[in-house]
Amino acid sequence: MKETVNIKNEALKNGLIWGAVNIVLFLVTWYVAPTLMSSYWYAGISFLIGLALAIFFCIDMRNKVGGYWTFGEALWPIFVTFVFAMGLVFVFNILFGKYIDTTYPEQMKEMVITKSEATMKSFGLSDEEAAKALEKTHENLEKQFTPTFSEAVMGFGIAAIMYFIGAVIFALIFRRNNPNPFANQVEDQLGAS
């Protein structure tokens, strides 16, 4: 008799692992080379690690449920994995800036503003256009690094919608229909005999 896997627990476990990996990457980068935090290298490496983990977890969960799952069966475990990982990192970043290293929000804002100024100069924006753009960037950074409760909830909701769209794409990619749709019925009949 085939052992059944609780896919909800697997999804939560995978989200916990993914979130922990992101937090460790964040902490190592922050304490070893904080200037990398606002670089494209850090964003690119974080993206590639996240993509590799997402692919691994999708294949692993599919294998644990027998190697086949429809789009509907795949969507929710994938979404739970994605949103749980994102939620852990989201909450950790807010708590980190408020209670662990209170210099984090201000240092990140300064790094992003400096990088934004350099980018605007390279695009040849006038001083007035650059000032308006930097003001908008500063407002966005305030919401990102020191959000009010309602801004945090809104930010989480928007991120959850984006991760749901990602989960839909991954469910479409990693679905695999059973070529023998009657396999479960035959196994059930044999087990009952």
In the chain, how many domains are there?
Answer: 1
Least confident piece of the model among 11-25, 82-96, 104-118, 154-168: 104-118
Domain span at residue 118 reads 7-175
Is 77 a member of any domain? yes
pLDDT in tens, 47-95: 999 999 999 999 999 999 999 999 999 999 999 999 999 999 999 998 9
Nearest CA-CA partner of 177 in 48, 69, 32 = 69
Is 180 a member of any domain? no
What single-letter DSSP state applies at residue 80?
H
Is 139 a member of any domain? yes
- Phi/psi region, residue 67 (left: phi>0; alpha: psi -120 to 50; beta: rest), is left
Tell me the pLDDT band of 5, cut-offs 50, 70 and 90: confident
pLDDT value for 29: 95
Is 182 a member of any domain? no
Is 116 a member of any domain? yes
Is 34 a member of any domain? yes
Instruction: Answer for the pair 7, 61: CB distance below 8 angstroms, yes or no.
Output: yes
Cα–Cα distance measured from residue 157 to residue 180, given in angstroms and rounded to the nearest whole number? 39
Residue type, 23: I
Is 187 a member of any domain? no
pLDDT in tens, 92-150: 998 999 999 999 989 988 988 888 888 888 888 788 888 888 888 888 888 888 888 89
Residues in the chain: 193
Is 127 a member of any domain? yes
